[in-house]
Copies of this chain bind each other. A is one copy, B any other.
Amino acid sequence: MTQPRPAGQHTVRRHNSALVLAAVAESPGISRAGVAARTGLTKATVSSLVDRLIGASLVHDAGPERRPGPGRRGTSLSLCPSGPHGLGVEIGVDYVATCLVDLTGRTRHERVRPAENRSRPVPEVLAEVAAELTAALGEAGALGVAVGGIGVAVPGLVEASTGLLRRAPNLDWDDVDVPAELRDRAALPDVEILVGNEANFAALAELWAGGHTGPRDFVHVSGEIGIGAGIVIGGELFDGVHGFGGELGHFPVTPDGPRCTCGARGCLERLAGQDVILERAGAADLGDLLDRLVAGEDRAAGAVREAGRWLGTALSAVVNLLDVPAVVLGGTYAHLHPWLADPLRAELRARVLGGPWSPVEVLRSDLGTEAAVRGAAASAVRTILADPDAFMASLS
């Protein structure tokens, strides 16, 4: 049970600072008066809070706004482009990616280095990841910006309470304390290090992509080596009690299906995973598969349709359970969307109980494979945006 905390005036300021910052983030170019109207705070309070945020270089005052009509012009406020940046790292199975984003979520730097991380000694891989981190920190120095937080995406189960990477099947890692190991190997600034599942970070990247217009409740499914899912509800990641939530790859979709590496039978991964689709379609790789689909090859289309049905079966259960109104296809599935969406939708229509009152949308992600790193980096800055007072306190 989380320790309940007493509230005081500082709590109020904390809350309102975040409120003001969120208003600025959601409508860049807004004036202090606009923020006051949006948040319900008085102009006096907003002025005071904005001044503090500007002092911490979280908000930027871009001079008078342009607006028709009478009256004095307000000053345009926006998130400070030179404010603290978020640094993301992804330890993939065959690559290490780093990425630097500013407060608005814009990518300032990105780098993907191929690396065969699978079943290599853990310290060796971590040393290389640390080197990438150091390089990215140098990049931040060259841009003249501070790093306010670090996010690390890993392909495995991360325990939320401890931050421990419990198990990464495709790396064959067990119980690695990633933040501690990285701190040992690189001179990292004294900022928070978030570790999380790669699929969850990808879902968050999807949430934050394209401003504030997208859905705030969805399941993001990405088919890469395994099948990863990230659940976003109310604009927040839902990852369960330990942080192990969102596992969809081993969803028991048919009891007498093929045996899976996890020991069980009929896991979704064995019926709708990328490898299986390619095999059924007789395609060499994803590019080949897409060519065959475009050419209208029956076998390819059939393979994708079948995967769509299995995926739909699993997702209908997810929707019935969580009552999420949208499914976003990412990774490999994003490419297959045109052929995958219809059978998926059909299955959802047939099985979702709440369907008649709120049909489930099947959307396609525009983000590529960089989704996870970007999500990791963006998570770091979102931590600051969500609680600017904590960040400001850490400055002194």
Could you list which residues of chain A lie within 8 angstroms of chain B, going by C-beta atoms? 1, 4-9, 11-12, 15-16, 19, 22, 39-41, 45, 157, 159, 166-167, 216-217, 229, 231, 233-235, 238-248, 250-255, 262-264, 313-314, 316-318, 320-325, 350-351, 353-354, 356-358
Contacts and interface: CB of A to CB of B under 8 A. Distances in A.
A18 to B, nearest CB: 9
Contact of A250 (B4, B229, B324, B353): B353
B11 A323 contact: no
Nearest to A217: B241
Contacts of A15: 6-7, 11
A252 B268 CA distance: 13
* Count of identical protomers in the assembly: 2
A313 B255 contact: yes
15 contacts: A4-B22, A6-B15, A6-B39, A11-B12, A157-B353, A166-B357, A231-B321, A238-B322, A239-B323, A244-B323, A244-B358, A246-B321, A246-B323, A248-B320, A262-B353
Contacts of A242: 323, 325, 354, 357-358
A131 B332 CA distance: 58
Contacts of A351: 250, 252, 262, 264
A41 B6 contact: yes
A258 to B, nearest CB: 14
A340 B238 CA distance: 30
The main secondary structure of chain A at its interface with chain B is loop
Contacts of A245: 321-323
Contacts of A325: 241-242
A5 B247 CA distance: 34
B321 A252 contact: no
Nearest to A22: B4
A325 B161 CA distance: 14
Q: Which 5 A-B pairs have the closest CB atoms?
A: A240-B323, A244-B354, A245-B323, A247-B320, A7-B15
Contact of A324 (B240, B243, B252, B323): B240
A8 B166 CA distance: 42
A248 B353 contact: no
A143 to B, nearest CB: 32
A40 B5 contact: yes
Contacts of A323: 239-247
Contacts of A159: 357
Nearest to A320: B247
A257 to B, nearest CB: 9
B252 A255 contact: no
A79 B7 CA distance: 22
A285 B214 CA distance: 51
Given A244-B358, A314-B317, 14 more contacts: A4-B19, A6-B19, A6-B39, A7-B15, A11-B15, A167-B353, A233-B240, A245-B322, A245-B323, A246-B323, A248-B321, A250-B351, A264-B351, A321-B322
B39 A4 contact: yes
